[in-house]
Amino acid sequence: MFRSFAFLSVPALVADAARVRTRRKVAGTDCFSPYDGKPIMTLKACDAAELQEMLSAVSQCTLLSDDLVMPSGGGCAENVAVCDMHASDALLVQFPGKVKLADTDAGTYFRRTSGPAQSYTAVEGMELSDDFYSDWRDYDARMARIDAAVAASGGAAKIESMGKSVEGREMKIVRFTGKGYVPGNPKVAMTFNIHAREWIAGMAGIYAVEKLVEKVVNNPGYLDGVEVVMMPMANPDGFVNTQGFSRFHRKNMNKNSSLCTGVDLNRNFAFQWGTVGSSGIPCMDNYHGSAAVSEPETKAMTKMMDESPMTVYLDVHAFTQLILSAWGYTKDDHPRKAEFKALGVKMQDAIQSKHGAEYTEGPGAQVLYAVGGDTADYATSKGALGYCFELRPKSQLWSLAGFAPPKSMIQPTVEECFEGILVAIGHAKAQA
């Protein structure tokens, strides 16, 4: 679903769902169509009471921000909403200076500044050409690109399935097993695009696969004694939904009820499930599911992480340019704080040196906000140094980009992300 229903009654939900269905029948041309003709509003709340009041006021709007809480590191909560004309006018009057009109037509705006996902047909002999990253790519193009990269690896990389999604799509991983590796040796595991709307994270996963292929082909001994496993698309159903129907859908496609679809996979893991930073209400974007590891996608990721000990785990998201370490569920320091800091700073330096984009590093609950049941903390509980990368852009308010940045941001973002990945692999290699 497009909007946060936290403050809507059941009758309002029913009426709203009917309106959405009617609108889609008339204007359902692409993933931005439900926003056509609606103003975009920016919201800035600088204390908890003001944030709560503001969220109540936008209950009839479409919220385009992630977790609507005050940031742990201080400062103001920045949110973006798409509202109808009546709600927009009311917000401007109620919160002068804190709510601003950014654009009068959200659908047209996002269609122009970011655009929908495109297919990709490779020229024969140029299957891994860099022009792939000149635009957003659809699911079929992304999977074909991964197949092409693995095919070019000469057997250094292999595609496997960890299971199937709710709608029956394969939960694919790409495995690189260095010479001499046995379970228990150093290992790096990664997931990308667990939140469906974070398209740039998925593009980074594809880039990481093909560039690591390139690296091991050019240097066959690069991964000796080490294994690297990547899941470049951790939420295939949700992503397919965003590319053709609901651009800002976050969750998987579990049919929780007739009105609301999806479980937040990054709140569904077994460690600290349901404790903080998630909701038991199915219509909320951070709905943690009916039980820990209730979703087939979560089961597949858990299987990948449980198969052998991990040295480093990276979960790649967007946006806000952060490198987050444990803990995510509490502000208490992790016993391995110094190790987390040392590696986190090295990844930060590598990422920033590529194109000069600034990333903030630190424990998730201290830098951003507290969440339970997430991937990185689960991996950490298994003995890994678990991190979450939040890629570009830095802030939603500077351009309204957020989850739908301009396509010109794809190439530099995936490049700098890969620099951070190389540091994580280097950390594992040093222990081989």
Give the pLDDT of residue 202.
98
Number of neighbouring beta carbons within 10 Å of residue 388: 26
Q: In the chain, which residues have pLDDT < 70?
A: 1-28, 66-68, 73, 125, 397-398
Distance CA 423, CA 329 (A): 25
Give the pLDDT of residue 14.
32
DSSP of 251-315, one letter per residue? S---B-SSS-B---GGG-SSTTTTSSS-BS-TTSTTB--SSTT-SHHHHHHHHHHHSS--SEEEE
| Half-sphere exposure of residue 277: CA atoms within 13 angstroms, side-chain side | 27
CA 220 to chain centre: 32
Q: Going by DSSP bridges, is the β-strand pair 322-325/385-391 parallel, antiparallel, or unpaired?
A: antiparallel
Give the pLDDT of residue 51.
85
Phi–psi pair at 183, nearest 5 degrees: -55, 130
Asked whether the beta carbons of 198 and 266 are under 8 A apart, the reply is no
The reply to whether 390 belongs to the active site is yes
Give the pLDDT of residue 284.
83
Distance CA 187, CA 159 (A): 17
Q: Going by DSSP bridges, is the β-strand pair 227-231/187-192 parallel, antiparallel, or unpaired?
A: parallel
CA quadruple 232, 237, 238, 241: dihedral, nearest 10: 120
Domain boundaries, the chain: 10-113, 130-429
The pTM score is: 0.90
Among 3.30.479.10, 3.50.50.60, 3.40.630.10, 3.40.1030.10, what is the CATH number of 130-429? Answer: 3.40.630.10
Instruction: Report the alpha-carbon angle 138-243-54, nearest 5.
Output: 140
Model confidence pLDDT, tens digit, residues 119-128:
998 877 677 8
Residue 13 forms beta bridges with which residues?
none
- Domain 10-113: CATH superfamily is Metallocarboxypeptidase-like (3.30.70.340)
Choose the catalytic residue: 295, 390, 415, 416. 390
| Half-sphere exposure of residue 420: CA atoms within 13 angstroms, side-chain side | 36
Give the pLDDT of residue 238.
98
The contacts of residue 55 (CB under 8 Å, 6+ apart) are 4, 6, 7, 68
